[in-house]
Structure formats: structure tokens, C-alpha cells
């Protein structure tokens, strides 16, 4: 679904509604995930071509595309209709893709049918206790759960980008305080089934249109027409012009992975 909220608990704002008017920017400007992540899962024998993956909180299909590229059968579970429809438009013609109207707490998937449950930048929207029970229900006995986020590095252009969001986005402090992966909450979710954490470098190279679109895709950002939108745009333009090389800046991330079983 998105990258903002209270990790491991239900957000103050319903994510099913929160992102409906941001789908176009989300599709075009959100960062993907590195192939190193699925290579790591294959090396652990937790993923293989033909594996059945439940991509829970699939949003517009960014994480689903990663697993399709790895040759998996992907059930993209997403409650937000515009985001689910965007995923189906993008990925619906690919073998192995299935869009599913469901939530983490009630996926509608068959019991014991899934080899890997994945949540890319979405777990913080879930209600932990019923989600744990649902994941345990749909997983095969030897299945695994992986939770991952793109965490912004505090370097280069990202430092100014973060400061500008903080200054011009009214909801930023409330929402961003819980956006990053909260390891104690995640470990509590897995309990005795927690296995490991890993990180993989990731980046976006964007022109100014991309930087502005990336900001607009966040649920806390003002929309065009809001009184805060033009100040945000102008501040981003000034920062971009100070940092750009050949008309682009780089946004650096670490893709942080947490993996385990459902005991």
C-alpha cells in the first residue's frame, strides 16, 4: 500500500482511502525493489520459480513485479480499488499474476496454499494479531513470511528532501514517525519464528518532475490546489537545482528485509 504509518499497527488514517487520489504518482514515481532481494530468498531456498507468493498490501504492483520477475505465481492482495486496478492494468497480462480484493487480516486466499507471504512497504498498515493468524492460515507448513521497506538514506540530496517534507507537509511528523521498520515490533510479530534481517542498496535517479512526483505520492504531501503545494514545489525545485548533475539527482535507499516463520 504505502510507506507511511505506525509500524505494526493500524494507522490513524485508513490506508484504503488515503492513497486513492495518488495512484498515478504512486505508479510512476515510487521506487522499486532490487533483484538482490529475491536472489537472497532463492539462496535461502525460501523462493523458487513457480512458488506461490501472497503479496499482501500489494498496492499498484511494485512488489508483485519483483516476484513475477523471479518466476513466481503472485496473488496481489490489495483492498484499495484504484491501486488494485492499476496493478491489474500494469501486470494483468503477465503469466502468474492474480489481483485479489482482500486485506492482510482477511486475504480471501485458500488455507495452506502459499509458499511465501510478502509485504513490501505495507506491514505498518496491518493489525498485527489478526494478520499473524491469517498468514499462519494461508501458509503451507514450510512457508515463510518476508516484510521489507525502502528506507531513505540520510545522505546527499535526501537530507534536503527530508527537511523540505518536514517543513511543508502537515502530516509528516505524525505519519513519518512510524514509517520506518520498527524492529522490536517486527520481532514481536514473528515471535519465536523470527529468522533474520538483511539489507540491500537501492536508488532512484530522477529529474525534477520525478522528485516532485515522488513527493506527491506520499500520503502526507499536499495535493495541487492546496495552499501548501506551491511552497513545497518551489522548495524542492531550489534544492534540486543546487544538487542536480546532468538534470538528475539520486535518491538513495536501503531495502531492509525481515524474514521468519509463523510458529
Residues in the chain: 263
Contact (CB, 8 A) for 5 and 179? yes
Q: How large is the average pLDDT for residues 218-242?
A: 93
Query: How much is the average pLDDT of 23-39?
Result: 92
12, pLDDT greater than 60: no
Write the pLDDT tens digit of every residue in 136-158.
999 999 999 999 999 999 898 99
The pairing of strands 52-56 and 73-77 is parallel
Under the banding of pLDDT at 50, 70 and 90, the label for residue 6 is very low
**Rounded mean pLDDT, 213-229:** 90
* DSSP state at residue 22: G
Supply the pTM of this predicted model.
0.87
DSSP secondary structure, 119-185, as one string? EES-GGGS-HHHHHHHHHHHEEEEEEEEEEEEEEPSSTHHHHHHHHHHHH-TTHHHHHTTTS--HHH
* Distances from the Cα of 208 to the Cα of 7, 104, 108, angstroms: 30, 35, 41
In angstroms, what CA-CA distances link 161 with 154, 214, 217, 238? 10, 10, 14, 11
Q: How far apart (Å, rounded) are the C-alpha atoms in residues 22 and 218?
A: 8
CA dihedral 31, 105, 13, 33 (to 10 degrees): -10
- Measured distance CA(25)–CA(19) in Å, rounded: 10
Instruction: Report which of 59, 64, 65, 41 is spatially closest to residue 104, judged by C-alpha positions.
Output: 59
- Could you tell me what percentage of the chain is helix, strand and coil, using 3-state DSSP and rounding each to the nearest 5? 40, 25, 35
Q: Strands 249-260, 194-206: parallel, antiparallel or unpaired by DSSP?
A: antiparallel
Alpha-carbon distance 126 to 140, whole Å? Answer: 21
Q: In the chain, what are the domain boundaries?
A: 15-152+175-204+254-260
Element (H, E) at 17: helix 15-18
Q: What is the CATH number of domain 15-152+175-204+254-260?
A: 3.40.50.150
Cα–Cα distance measured from residue 148 to residue 91, given in angstroms and rounded to the nearest whole number = 21
Looking at the predicted structure, is the pLDDT value of residue 18 above 90?
no
| CA dihedral sign of residues 136, 138, 143, 146 | negative
Report pLDDT digits (tens) over 112-128.
999 999 999 999 889 99
Predicted confidence at residue 263, as pLDDT, reads: 84
Edge to edge, what strands does the sheet with 139-152 contain? 97-100, 73-77, 52-56, 114-120, 139-152, 249-260, 194-206
**Dist CA 118 CA 163 (whole Å):** 31
Amino acid at each position: 500500500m504505502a510507506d507511511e504509518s505506525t509500524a505494526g499497527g493500524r494507522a490513524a488514517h485508513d490506508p484504503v482511502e488515503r492513497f486513492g487520489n495518488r495512484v498515478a504518482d504512486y505508479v510512476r514515481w515510487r521506487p522499486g525493489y532490487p533483484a538482490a532481494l529475491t536472489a537472497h530468498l532463492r539462496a535461502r531456498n525460501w523462493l523458487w520459480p513457480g512458488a506461490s507468493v501472497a503479496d499482501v498490501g500489494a498496492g499498484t504492483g511494485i512488489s508483485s513485479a519483483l516476484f513475477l520477475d523471479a518466476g513466481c505465481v503472485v496473488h496481489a492482495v490489495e483492498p484499495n480499488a484504484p491501486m488494485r486496478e492499476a496493478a491489474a492494468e500494469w501486470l494483468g497480462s503477465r503469466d502468474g499474476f492474480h489481483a485479489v480484493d482482500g486485506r492482510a487480516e482477511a486475504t480471501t486466499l485458500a488455507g495452506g496454499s502459499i509458499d511465501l507471504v510478502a509485504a513490501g512497504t505495507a506491514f505498518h498498515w496491518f493489525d498485527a494479531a489478526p494478520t499473524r493468524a491469517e498468514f499462519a492460515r494461508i501458509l503451507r507448513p514450510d512457508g515463510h513470511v518476508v516484510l521489507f521497506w525502502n528506507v531513505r538514506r540520510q545522505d546527499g540530496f535526501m537530507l534536503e528532501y527530508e527537511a523540505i517534507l518536514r517543513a511543508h507537509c502537515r502530516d509528516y511528523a505524525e505519519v513519518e514517525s512510524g514509517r520506518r521498520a520498527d524492529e522490536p515490533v517486527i520481532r514481536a510479530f514473528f515471535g519465536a519464528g523470527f529468522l533474520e534481517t538483511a539489507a540491500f542498496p537501492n536508488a532512484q535517479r530522477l529529474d525534477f518532475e520525478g522528485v516532485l512526483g515522488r513527493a506527491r505520492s506520499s500520503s502526507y504531501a499536499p495535493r495541487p490546489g492546496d495552499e501548501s503545494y506551491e511552497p513545497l514545489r518551489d522548495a524542492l525545485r531550489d534544492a534540486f537545482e543546487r544538487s542536480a548533475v546532468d538534470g538528475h539527482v539520486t535518491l538513495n535507499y536501503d531495502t531492509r528485509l525481515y524474514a521468519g516463520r509463523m510458529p
